[in-house]
Homo-oligomer: A and B are copies of this chain.
Amino acid sequence: MVNPSLEKTKEIQLIKKMARRLKANDKSVIVSIGDDAAVVKGGGGKYGLYTVDMLIESVHFKKNEDYGKVGYKAMAVSVSDIAAMGGVPKYALVSVGLPRKNIDRVASGLYAGISRCAKKFDIAVIGGDTNRSPNLVIDVFMVGEVEPEKLVLRNGAKPGDHIFVSGPLGGSLRGKHLIFEPRVKEARFLVDHFKVTSMIDLSDGLAMDLNRLVSASNVGALIFENKILKASPAVSTVHALTDGEDFELLFTLSGANSLKLSQLMKKRKTIFKFYPIGRITDLFSGVKMGMASGGIQEVPARGFRHF
- The residues of A with any CB-CB pair to B shorter than 8 Å are 2, 4, 7, 10-11, 14-15, 17-18, 21-22, 24-26, 28-29, 32-33, 37-38, 40, 42-46, 48, 50-54, 56, 58-60, 90-91, 93-98, 103, 107-108, 111-112, 114-115, 118, 124-135, 137, 139, 141, 143
Tell me whether B15 and A52 are in contact (CB under 8 A). no
B59/A131 in contact, CB under 8 A: yes
Query: Given A10-B132, A18-B130, are A93 and B52 neighbors across the interface (CB < 8 Å)?
Result: yes
Contact of A21 among B15, B18, B112, B130 (CB under 8 A): B112
- Taking the nearest CB of chain B, how far is it from the CB of A88, in angstroms? 13
- Nearest chain B residue, comparing its CB with the CB of A124: B24
How far, in whole Å, are A52 and B52 apart by their CA atoms in the complex? 11
Contact check, A18 vs B52: say whether CB atoms are below 8 A apart: no
Min Cβ gap A138→B in Å is: 10
Q: Evaluate contact between B7 and A59: CB separation under 8 angstroms.
A: no
Give the residue of B40, B43, B95, B132 whose beta carbon is less than 8 angstroms from that of A91. B40
* Shortest Cβ gap from A131 to chain B (Å): 5
A135 to chain B, nearest CB (A): 5
Q: In the assembled complex, how far is the CB of residue A106 from the closest CB belonging to chain B, in whole angstroms?
A: 10
Residues of B within 8 A of A96 (CB): 14, 54
Q: A124, B91: Cβ atoms under 8 Å?
A: no
Task: Across the interface, name the chain B residue whose C-beta is closest to A26.
Answer: B124
Given A51-B93, A52-B93, A58-B134; A111-B18 close (CB under 8 Å): yes
Kindly report which residue of chain B lies nearest to residue A132, judged by CB atoms: B7
Residue of B nearest to A100 (CB): B10
Q: How far is the CB of A2 from chain B (nearest CB, A)?
A: 7
Q: Which residues of B lie under 8 Å from residue A128 when comparing CB positions?
A: 15, 18, 33, 52
CB <8 Å contact, A33 and B111: no
Q: Complex formed: what's the CA distance from A108 to B124 in Å?
A: 35
Q: How far is the CA of A118 from the CA of B50 in the complex (A)?
A: 17
Whether B103 pairs with A24 at a CB distance below 8 angstroms is no
CB pair B111 A52 closer than 8 Å? no
Contact among B60, B91, B124, B132 with A2 in the assembled complex (CB-CB below 8 Å): B132
Contact present for B133 and A93 (CB under 8 Å): no
A107 touches B29 (CB 8 A): no
- Report the separation of the CA atoms of residues A18 and B173 in the bound assembly, to the nearest whole angstrom: 29
